[in-house]
């Protein structure tokens, strides 16, 4: 065992505290990563505040990890010391089921091993990226291309892949009309990636307060969902809607914005159930789908795509002496939709 410095919350409503955690000794195929930066995903908050059920405490969140390789196991052949690498939401899977064999490890039929909140290869609960170091099997490590700063790359490991995967799967590209609902961490990257794929992009946000930013990220149109006229104006418009909202929405209203055969993909994961009136789907042969992160190979493809198109996250960096207080404040601001557009923790300063 080796130790790492981390920030953990001891219970669902408690502030973050600096702590020491254990990381397993390197197995032959393991990589020891010095974590330089870790993004704050809304999923960290849903988990840490018990919104998705009882979490394991003390809880070390973080599944948007960017760092460098510090040490490698004897059989590691994909990475070398000092390589720039990333880890997202999963650190292992069964590797044998149809999903894993199809490169869709996130849908492992036996359940993928989460970067936090799972049981790891050593039989102990996994701790996430709000920490100085992590040990991960090389097959669940991706390379971060030169040309992308590590701090702005970290959010790509969850937010980026979570929107890239459905945009690609449902064919966003030239000639397609894509709406992004909610312009937070996932949403702002969805705008950038959909634009880079060549789609016509519309942001549907609660208000027009971030309209200028939306245009900078590549949105062609930006409308407020607080205005009922938006739903009249855009009825039947979109081939694809990516719903990134962390709270429950009136799904029927949003489905009315799809064109014939259009698909609304929910990636936002509110704790409350989402309700869909049957006629919202029947009229117009519409589909309502879900999507969860992406496979490892697809995550690498996304990083390479982002490097090629100069796409990174817009970040607010958390650094300095009062990291715990800053994480607490950042979580509150994310919940208040007051994030521009991803908080990233300077974990490189921990140890
Ligand atoms: P985020 O930064 O908080 O963004 C969510 C955005 O949704 C907000 O910025 C806000 O955008 C909008 N919103 C929030 N509350 C709303 C409300 N009550 N009504 C209408 N709009 C509201 O969160 P995130 O990190 O992007 O994550 C978004 C969701 O995706 C979370 O539920 C998270 O758990 C989930 N997630 C899922 C996956 C997956 O694999 N499927 C992966 C990562 C995250 P505006 O201010 O523009 O309206
Ligand atoms: Zn996430």
Q: What is the pLDDT of residues 93-110, one digit of tens each?
A: 999 999 999 999 999 999
Q: Provide, rounded to the nearest whole percent, the portion of the chain with pLDDT above 70.
A: 100
Atom 29 of ligand 1: nearest residue by CA position: 268
For the chain, percent of residues with pLDDT exceeding 90:
98
* Cα-based angle 176, 178, 183 (whole degrees, multiple of 5): 155
End-to-end CA distance of the chain: 17
| Most distant CA pair in the chain, distance | 62
What is the pTM for the complete model shown?
0.98
246 Cα nearest atom in ligand 1 = 32
Say yes or no: CB of residue 330 within 6 Å of ligand 1.
no
| Secondary structure in 3-state letters for 16-69 | CEEEEEEECCCCCCEEEEEEEEEECCHHHHHHHCCECECCCCCECCCCCEEEEE
Instruction: Find the Cα–Cα–Cα–Cα dihedral 241, 244, 247, 252, rounded to 10°.
Output: 0
Query: DSSP code of 225?
Result: T
pLDDT at 108: 98
Residue nearest to atom 11 of ligand 1 (CA): 182
**What CA–CA distances, in Å, run from 158 to 37, 273, 305, 315?**
13, 23, 15, 14
Euclidean distance between CA atoms 199 and 183, whole angstroms: 17
**Nearest alpha-carbon partner for 86 in 273, 303, 327:** 303
295 CB-contact burial (10 Å; exposed 0-12 / middle 13-18 / buried 19+)? buried
Cβ of 348 less than 6 Å from ligand 1 = no
Number of the ligand 1 atom closest to the C-alpha atom of 291: 41
The answer to whether the CB of 267 is under 6 A from ligand 1 is yes
Q: Can you tell me which residue has the tokens 């001891």?
A: 10
Distance 85 CA to ligand 1 centre (A): 26
pLDDT at 121: 87
- Give CA torsion, residues 36, 148, 45, 244, to 10 deg: -170
Round to whole Å and give the CA distance between 33 and 35. Answer: 6
Confidence of residue 342 (pLDDT cuts 50, 70, 90): very high
Looking at the DSSP assignment, which residues form a beta bridge with residue 87? 65
Cα–ligand 1 centroid distance for 327 (angstroms): 18
Q: What is the pLDDT, as a whole number, of residue 88?
A: 98
Nearest alpha carbon, ligand 1 atom 3: 334
Closest C-alpha residue for ligand 1 atom 4: 184
Q: Which of 50, 108, 117, 184 to mutate to test the pocket of ligand 1 (most atoms within 8 A of CB)?
A: 184
Take residue 262 and report the two structure tokens written for it: 């259009």
Q: What is the 3-state secondary structure (H, E, C) of 1-14?
A: CEEEEEEEECCCCC
Q: DSSP assignment, residue 155?
A: G
Sheet holding 177-181, edge to edge: 221-224, 200-205, 177-181, 238-243, 258-266, 287-290
| Residue 121, token pair as written in the block | 């290869």
Q: DSSP string spanning 86-153? A: EE-SEEE--S-SHHHHTT-GGG-TT--EESSSSB-TTSSB---SSBSEEEEEGGG-EEPPTTS-HHHH
**Which atom belonging to ligand 1 lies closest to the Cα atom of 334?**
3
Does ligand 1 lie within 6 Å of residue 334's CB atom?
Answer: yes
**Position 321 confidence tier, pLDDT thresholds 50, 70, 90:** confident
Can you tell me the distance from the alpha carbon of 299 to that of 303, in angstroms, rounded to the nearest whole number?
Answer: 6
pLDDT, tens digit, 9 for 90 and up, residues 210-235:
999 999 999 999 999 999 999 999 99
Ligand nearest to the CA of 129: 2
Ligand at minimal distance from the CA of 185 is: 1
Ligand 1 pocket residue status of 158, Cβ below 6 Å: yes
Three-state secondary structure readout of 289-329: EECCCCCHHHHHHHHHHHHHCCCCCCEEEECCCCHHHHHHH
Whether the bond between 51 and the residue before it is cis, its omega within 30 degrees of 0, is: no
Over residues 166-175, mean pLDDT: 98
- Residue range 75-93, pLDDT digits in tens: 999 999 999 999 999 999 9
CB environment 59-82: b (16+ within 10 A), e (fewer): bbbbbbbbbbbeebbeebeebeee
Mean pLDDT within 10-21? 96
Over 80: is that where the pLDDT of 74 sits? yes
Rounded-to-integer distance, Cα 338 and Cα 38, Å: 19
- Separation of 268 CA from ligand 1 center, angstroms? 6
Which pLDDT does position 351 carry in this prediction? Answer: 63
Cα(218) to centroid(ligand 1), Å: 19
Please, which residues have CB within 8 angstroms of residue 83's CB and are 6 or more apart in sequence? 68, 69, 143
Query: How far is it, in rounded angstroms, from Cα 213 to Cα 320?
Result: 28
Across 301-339, b (16+ Cβ under 10 Å) vs e yields bbbebbbeeebbbbbeebeeeebbebbbebbeebeebeb
Q: Whose CA is nearest to atom 10 of ligand 1?
A: 182
Mutating to test ligand 1, I would choose from 40, 42, 242 the residue with most ligand atoms within 8 A of its C-beta, which is 42
Q: Is 60 in the pocket of ligand 1 (CB under 6 A)?
A: no
Q: Would you state the pLDDT for residue 343?
A: 98
Ligand 1 atom closest to the Cα of residue 41 is 25
């Amino acid at each position: 065992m080796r130790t790492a410095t981390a920030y953990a919350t001891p219970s669902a409503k408690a502030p973050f505290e600096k702590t020491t955690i254990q990381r397993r000794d390197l197995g032959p195929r393991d990589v020891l990563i010095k974590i330089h930066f870790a993004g704050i995903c809304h999923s960290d908050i849903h988990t840490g505040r018990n919104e998705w059920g009882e979490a394991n405490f003390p809880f070390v969140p973080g599944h948007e990890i960017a760092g460098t390789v510090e040490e490698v196991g004897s059989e590691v052949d994909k990475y070398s010391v000092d390589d720039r690498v990333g880890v997202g939401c999963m650190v292992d899977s069964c590797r044998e089921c149809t999903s894993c064999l199809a490169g869709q490890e996130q849908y492992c039929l036996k359940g993928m091993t989460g970067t936090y909140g799972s049981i790891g290869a050593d039989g102990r609960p996994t701790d996430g990226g709000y920490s100085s170091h992590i040990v991960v099997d090389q097959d669940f490590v991706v390379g971060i291309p030169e040309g992308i700063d590590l701090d702005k790359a970290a959010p790509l490991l969850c937010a980026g892949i979570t929107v890239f995967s459905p945009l690609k799967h449902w064919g966003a590209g030239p000639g397609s009309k894509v709406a992004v609902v909610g312009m937070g961490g996932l949403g702002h990257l969805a705008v950038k990636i959909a634009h880079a794929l060549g789609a016509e992009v519309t942001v549907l946000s609660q208000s027009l307060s971030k309209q200028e930013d939306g245009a900078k990220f590549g949105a062609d149109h930006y409308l407020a969902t607080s205005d009922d006229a938006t739903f009249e104006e855009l009825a039947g418009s979109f081939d694809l809607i990516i719903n990134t909202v962390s709270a429950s929405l009136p799904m029927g209203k949003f489905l009315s914005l799809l064109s014939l055969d259009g698909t609304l993909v929910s990636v936002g994961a509110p704790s409350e159930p989402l309700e869909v009136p049957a006629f919202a789907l029947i009229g117009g042969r519409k589909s309502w789908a879900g999507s969860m992160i992406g496979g490892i190979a697809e995550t690498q493809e996304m990083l390479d795509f982002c490097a090629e198109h100069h796409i990174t996250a817009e970040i607010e960096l958390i650094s300095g002496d009062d990291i715990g207080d800053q994480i607490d404040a950042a979580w509150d601001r994310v919940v208040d939709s007051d994030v521009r557009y991803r908080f990233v923790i300077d974990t490189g300063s921990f140890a």
